[in-house]
A and B are shown apart, each in its own frame.
Chain A
């Protein structure tokens, strides 16, 4: 054992009180830091699991002219811009080696109408349900009815949306051909169960930017909920792609199937001849028109099944969810993908899931910042207290240090002695704090503390249960932070100690 370490070690025991104070501060600091890191990691992992893997993917492609980028987590009723030329974008995505999977979807808000003139709103995702469930780990689970099929028209209403629709329109939605389940009624609907207006279909009118929207009636195929963070995502019901496009006045896959005769195609190509079509004054003739009153009740649901032969991708989408291969950095992928999209003059840009998640992503960042600021402040206070205590200790030991200097110890010896004392305390107490933190975190996970339906807790917990985890990166980061604080805390006391001269020691003596 070197003389420096020997003196440092024994001095710790000689000055038990001060050592204990410094030790307790280091213990608390590293314990809270470890626990905080565990919570952050748990939250990150939970978010990764619950938002990225089950709802947004790592990257979200939106139209280049989309101003509000919070297209998933933002609840603004402003229509989402459309991405045109998806086939081209799909080709780009397929070429990227770092992309695991992707899913194009339509996204928007629609009005819900009924004969009584009531109006409700609902967020809608127009998707191929099979692709959606495959991409997002079967995130949708049935509450009533059956799952929507890829080849049929219909809507899967979330349980939360059904409740909201009832509250605004007093209309209780029950899936087609499904028994009415009394126990599933919301408390509000239950209180009115005797005169309940039960409906198995709904009239939707998409809120699109260009005013081409249509009123369409769609059957309610099932009532569903999201497996994770349902209270956040329940605002999105699932509509089949073709119905969504019709409802929002987008080009449907069916539209792209229309064959134009060779004669019409020839005329359309002859741009100069188009004007000549209107030269004849007799082109307009007076006709008798008859309008009938618009009645929502007369809107019939389309019975036409969706052809599996259609090229769905030829129609319009608003968003593409993209999942990256495991371990690939989001930042790098975003950069590469945006370069590719830009080079191909695609009408889409890539943004991170956090941006797309809007306030939800912001909240995650906010919680992280709060925790980081808290831990930083804690360590700053700890560093100040340790600095103060060690400086006092250095001054109290003027005689001892001065005598060492008198008999030949240089300044570096004194500096090393002080540094060793602090490092030993930091190693034992800080290390103990980290170990206890590492033991406590799995215990907390084991307790399965539920987040309940509190959205904030769901986010902080990163899922339905509080599941803090500590990974190797956190431990290394913790050690580095502890080392940094230790160095920071001992800088001034070391300066004080090394400035002590033998003469000061004699004068004091």
Chain B
């Protein structure tokens, strides 16, 4: 069953007097529980495609469906709720709330949901913080963490709501290989147990080892799609 469906999706950006065609008519289907990788050179449109899937950006043309729901015509409030309840984000450097400590940052999306008890929120956040290896930094603020540690907090925050889809833009770019591997193992585990769909853009061949599907993108167009067997 497709959890994400893109049909003829285009995205143009004005840049000075010219128009940049970042995505040029992409058709893509992602099945529920997929571990999906988008690869391609810098400027190929990977991040734009992730932003479009993640309801962060609107396409210039085309249709995007998540859970069979057309998102291009949704109101801001509905898109926000979709991001909160269904999607988890892991960005390259765009990550944490500076005035909150590690635990509070991870708890943040759960607090926005307003449907869990304080104890439940704490329990879920602490479990994930431990899993990303930051237990001893639980009361530290982002400014007191390294880039890798911050990225791990962002990953914990993306996973804490048990979203249906996790979008990750270069998730291991700032991590050492061992931590990166641990994180990927965690993602894989969630993918297998919770059937969480993972879509990530990457250059990292280690990440590709975990992917079930790999889509190659160039100049805003999908050039190939390959199913990997591990």
CB within 8 Å of B: which residues of A? 3, 6-7, 10-11, 14, 399-400, 402-411, 413, 501-503, 505-506, 509
- Residue numbers in B under 8 Å from A7 (CB-CB): 97, 99-100
- B residues near A (Cβ < 8 Å) are 47, 51, 54, 56-57, 76-77, 80-81, 83-85, 89, 91-100, 104, 108-109, 111-113, 157-158
User: Given the interface contacts A6-B104, A408-B81, does A509 sit within 8 Å of B91 by beta carbon?
Assistant: yes
Which residue of B56, B100, B112, B158 is within 8 Å of A506 (Cβ)?
B56
Cβ-defined contact, A408 with B94, below 8 A: no
Q: How many A-B residue pairs have CB under 8 A?
A: 74
How long is the Cα–Cα vector from A402 to B54 in the complex, in angstroms? 14
Given A408-B85, A506-B91, A509-B93, residue A14 in contact with residue B99 (CB < 8 A): yes
Q: B109 touching A408 by the CB < 8 A rule? A: yes
Shortest CB distance A8–B (Å): 9
B111 touches A506 (CB 8 A): no
CB-defined contacts of A503 to chain B, threshold 8 Å: 51, 56-57
Top 3 A-B pairs, shortest CB-CB distance:
A408-B84, A10-B99, A509-B94
Report chain A residues within 8 Å CB of B89.
406-407
Beyond A406-B83, A408-B83, A411-B76, whether A3 also contacts B94 by CB under 8 A is no
- CA of A410 to CA of B100, assembled, Å: 18
Query: Majority SS of interface residues in chain A?
Result: helix
Query: Shortest distance in angstroms between A378's beta carbon and chain B's nearest beta carbon?
Result: 32
Bound together, the chains give a CA A400 to CA B143 distance in angstroms of 13
The answer to whether A413 touches B91, judged by C-beta atoms less than 8 angstroms apart, is: no
Residue contacts A-B, CB under 8 angstroms, 15 given = A3-B112, A6-B99, A7-B100, A10-B99, A400-B97, A404-B108, A406-B83, A407-B89, A407-B109, A408-B83, A408-B109, A410-B76, A411-B76, A503-B51, A509-B91
A400-B98, A406-B94 known; 10 new pairs, CB 8 Å cut-off, are A3-B104, A10-B100, A402-B94, A403-B94, A406-B83, A407-B112, A408-B80, A413-B112, A503-B51, A503-B56
| Alpha-carbon separation in the docked complex, A501 to B80 (Å) | 11
Flag if B51 contacts A506 (CB, 8 Å).
yes
Contacting residue for A409 out of B85, B112, B157, CB 8 A: B112
> Please, which residues of chain B bring their CB within 8 A of the CB of A410?
76-77, 80-81
Q: How far is the CB of B210 from chain A (nearest CB, A)?
A: 24
Which residue of chain A is the closest to B80 with respect to CB atoms? A410
- Which chain B residues lie closer than 8 Å to A402 at the CB level? 94
With CB as the reference atom, state the residue of chain A lying closest to B93. A509
Closest chain A residue to B85, Cβ basis? A408
Residue of A nearest to B88 (CB): A407
Nearest B residue (CB) for A501: B56
Q: Contacts A3-B108, A3-B111, A506-B51: A406 and B95 contacting too (C-beta < 8 A)?
A: no
Chain B contacts of A406 at CB under 8 A? 54, 56, 83, 89, 91, 94
Chain B residues lying within 8 Å of A14, measured Cβ to Cβ, are: 98-99
Complex CA gap A502/B167 in Å reads 14
Q: Which residue of B lies closest to A7 (CB)?
A: B99
Q: Which residues of A contact B84 (CB under 8 A)?
A: 407-408
Chain B contacts for A407, CB-based, 8 A? 83-84, 89, 108-109, 112, 157-158
CB–CB A502/B56 < 8 A: yes
Nearest A residue to B111 via CB reads: A3
Residues of chain B within 8 A (CB-CB) of A509 are 91-94
Cα distance A503–B109 in the bound complex, in angstroms? 18
Chain B min CB distance to A332 (Å): 50
The complex places the Cα of A360 from the Cα of B76 at a distance, in Å, of: 61
Q: Whole-angstrom distance between the alpha carbons of A411 and B96 in the complex?
A: 18
